[in-house]
Structure 1
Amino acid sequence: MSVRSTAEVIDRFNRAFTEGDAALLADLVAEDCVMESVQPAPSGERVVGREACTEWWTALVDDSATQFTPQEVIVAGDRATIVWTYRFGDGADQWVHGVNVMRVTDGRIAEALGFSKTVGEVPPASESDGA
């Protein structure tokens, strides 16, 4: 089998979510993959290893109450950026914009860092340094 390109890997990853087919994640995640989710804010959850990352993403794919929708994908070498929306309910305010910064090595996802706009307010620097 030839090694999949970064574009092929990211396309298959996104299709797992848009098609609701967690089986597409099979053999897509590197043994030493590191994934950082967007929640809980501000640092997210760190998940390490093929089994743990695949399990985490499978749970998200299988959650029929939510919807992950890629908006734009930019691929450059072994890196990909996925701009997305994530709907977590039926209300007008129950969605969020975010981005995943991905790294693919030898045809598998080696790193996935998730970032999103968060609820709440970040204090200005002058407040956080005690001034």
Structure 2
Amino acid sequence: MTHELVIDIAANDLSRQTAEIMRRFNDVFQRHDPTALAELVAEDCVIENTVPAPDGARHAGKAACVALWSAIATQPGTRFDIEETFVAGDRATIRWRYFMADGNSLRGVNLMRVAGGRIVEAMGYVKG
């Protein structure tokens, strides 16, 4: 019996595209420069934020999502350490640690989804 290795080229291409979108997204927070968000966020994007606890707030539409992420990215004295980004097709998981201006930090994860080359969904969770 022979076993054949099958590689799904379309899924692999989609994963590469998603990985590039996530790289650019993460760069927004690493560089504190939200300029790229307008190109990365879909018109129908939805964010389920980490605050307020326990369920967070829902932000719908490109303008709301870009505004939220821009505010987070440009918060003085803060930084994100990206611990891992895992991509599978149109989905990505980003594990991160956020350092606040007061020196405290928290760890969390974003579950992301892309469609048509743009972010359409982001669900954020933090360790409590």
TM-score (normalizing by structure 1): 0.82
What is the number of equivalent residue pairs in this alignment? 114
Q: Is the counterpart of residue 11 in structure 1 residue 10 in structure 2?
A: no
Q: Report the CA distance between 1:6 and its aligned residue.
A: 0.5
Query: Partners of 2:125 and 2:43 in 1: how far apart?
Result: 23
In the other structure, the counterpart of 1:24 is 36
Query: Partners of 2:95 and 2:33 in 1: how far apart?
Result: 20
Matched residue of 2:39: which SS?
A: coil
CA-based RMSD: 1.5
Query: Partners of 1:24 and 1:33 in 2: how far apart?
Result: 15
Give % identity: 50
1:22-61 correspondence runs (5 A): 22-61=34-73
Query: Partners of 1:51 and 1:8 in 2: how far apart?
Result: 22
Q: Report the CA distance between 1:56 and its aligned residue.
A: 0.5
- What are structure 2's unaligned runs of at least 5 residues? 1-13
- What are structure 1's unaligned runs of at least 5 residues? 119-131
The counterpart of 1:113, out of the listed 99, 117, 123, is: 123
Matched residue of 2:106: which SS?
A: strand
TM-score (normalizing by structure 2): 0.84
**CA offsets 1:29-53 (integer angstroms, 9 cap, x no match):** 0111010111111000110000100
Q: Report the CA distance between 1:89 and its aligned residue.
A: 3.0
Of Structure 1 and Structure 2, which has the larger fraction of its residues in helix?
2
